[in-house]
Amino acid sequence: MNSLKEIFKNKSQNLCSVFFTAGFPGLNDTQKIITDLGSNGVDFIEVGLPYSDPLADGPTIQHSSEVALGNGINLDVIFEQLQSIKETNKTPLVLMGYLNQILKYGEEKFCEQCVACGIDTVILPDLPMIEYETHYKQLFANYGISNVFLITPQTSEERIIKIDGLTDAFIYVVASASITGAKGEISKEQITYFERIKAMNLKSTLIVGFGISSKQTFNTVCNYANGAIIGSAFIKFLDTNGVDNIDEFVEGIL
């Protein structure tokens, strides 16, 4: 069973995930960040794979990718870091990257490394549905890996229902039709969107991301979904504070 499903069986509301970019702010900060997030109540952690052209990411996460790449991070280093804490880390990890990274690294090699690190969930925002259905669905199934699909306010009901049928981890509900980045309050338009998705009574767990940056926005979206992912706000915290006092950040959200 997918490791996230084990989490979701025991907790169905106010699920909290935090995103960070591997290799940021320092090359060797990955293990400490994961350990500190997990020990302070984060339900699952999204590990960003730094990429030179991250189409879904705003300036904050783009900057963190640039710094991480400048630090010398690459997929081999990331997998070494993740494997080094496999035995001690009890918090499910989700890898978020882009299709070209996998193609360049090697599809089978990427999947093998995921398994070696105990990772069974990936998010690839630019993976076309047709490519998933005709190739990656079977490839990932061979390695016990689940793919997370994203939906936006513009996603058709037909596609959402199809995604729901293909999902065995969670559906990533993009809060707005924009790139990532900490925003202010949740707008009325977003509430209407969340209400529409909730009313569809999908079978999948719904996790909201993009623009969730505070206790207020986290609590608001949790009224309409099972939980939320905080990304840019945490990256900004790391940029200012380094990897110390991560407990304070998490306490400020939960």
Q: Residues 46, 53, 87, 120: which is the catalytic one?
A: 46
46 carries an active-site annotation = yes
Rounded distance, CA 159 to CA 48, Å? 26
DSSP structural state of residue 175: S
Which residues neighbour 235 within 8 Å (Cβ) at sequence distance 6 or greater?
A: 19, 20, 21, 24, 60, 61, 63, 64
251 carries an active-site annotation = no
What amino acid occupies position 217?
T
Identify the CA nearest to 221 among candidates 242, 205, 236, 207. Answer: 207
Q: Residues 29, 36, 43, 57: which is the catalytic one?
A: 57
Identify the CA nearest to 181 among candidates 231, 132, 110, 138. Answer: 231
Structure tokens at 39: 């020990």
Structure tokens at 139: 């490839």
Which residues neighbour 63 within 8 Å (Cβ) at sequence distance 6 or greater?
A: 235, 239
What amino acid occupies position 224?
Y
Classify 254 as helix, strand or coil: coil
CA distances from 197 to 128, 151, 167, 206 (A): 22, 10, 15, 9
Burial bucket for residue 53 (CB in 10 Å: 0-12, 13-18, 19+) = exposed
Q: How big is the chain by its Cα radius of gyration, in Å?
A: 17
Residues annotated as catalytic (active site), given as ranges: 46, 57
